[in-house]
Amino acid sequence: MNNDSVKDNIRNFRKNLQVTQSEMADRLGISRTAYRNLENGETRLLNENLGRIAEILNVGTEELVLGYHPRRQTSTEDELADQYTGQITEIRKRYKAEIDTLTEEISRLRLENTELRRHIETQQDLIETKSELIVMLKKLAAR
């Protein structure tokens, strides 16, 4: 905790609420000079003063120290987190199933591709054999 930042936070909260240093001093039961010294860092800020100042400014001591209101997770947020965790798990299961299906399809298509290549090679061999037979028949017919 940086004392200067805490004092800056007190000053900012006080100004945002449009409370004067004199009003703060009155509410704390101290002189305006004592309060000004406290806010300016000339007087050490004691924990008991911090709690009373927070109360007057209608903020928590954590908020004075941090400069913002720390957010606490509620049970509703816990339930939402659990719900999203379940949804993420379900999405991962579906994603894995889809990947498995696509992997099987790729394997099937590769096998089919290999079979089609063999069939094309066989057809090319047949065409070549027919061409050779035609050439031989033309030679026989020409004699």
Tell me the CATH number at 61. Answer: 1.10.260.40
If you average pLDDT over residues 97-112, what whole number do you get?
Answer: 96
Judge whether residue 3 has pLDDT over 70.
Answer: no
Q: Let me know whether 121 and 59 are in one domain.
A: no
Q: Let me know whether 78 and 143 are in one domain.
A: yes
pLDDT tens sequence across 39-82: 887 777 666 678 888 888 888 877 777 776 666 656 677 777 77
Q: Let me know whether 57 and 86 are in one domain.
A: no
Q: Let me know whether 55 and 85 are in one domain.
A: no
Region at 2 (left for phi over 0; alpha for psi -120 to 50; beta for the rest): beta
Distance CA 128, CA 62 (A): 90
User: Quick one: pLDDT at residue 131?
Assistant: 95
Q: Which structural domain range is residue 32 located in?
A: 3-66
Q: What is the CB neighbour count within 10 angstroms for residue 61?
A: 15
Distance CA 37, CA 20 (A): 14
Distance CA 139, CA 41 (A): 116
**Of the residues 35, 66, 97, the one at which a domain ends:** 66
Q: Let me know whether 82 and 56 are in one domain.
A: no
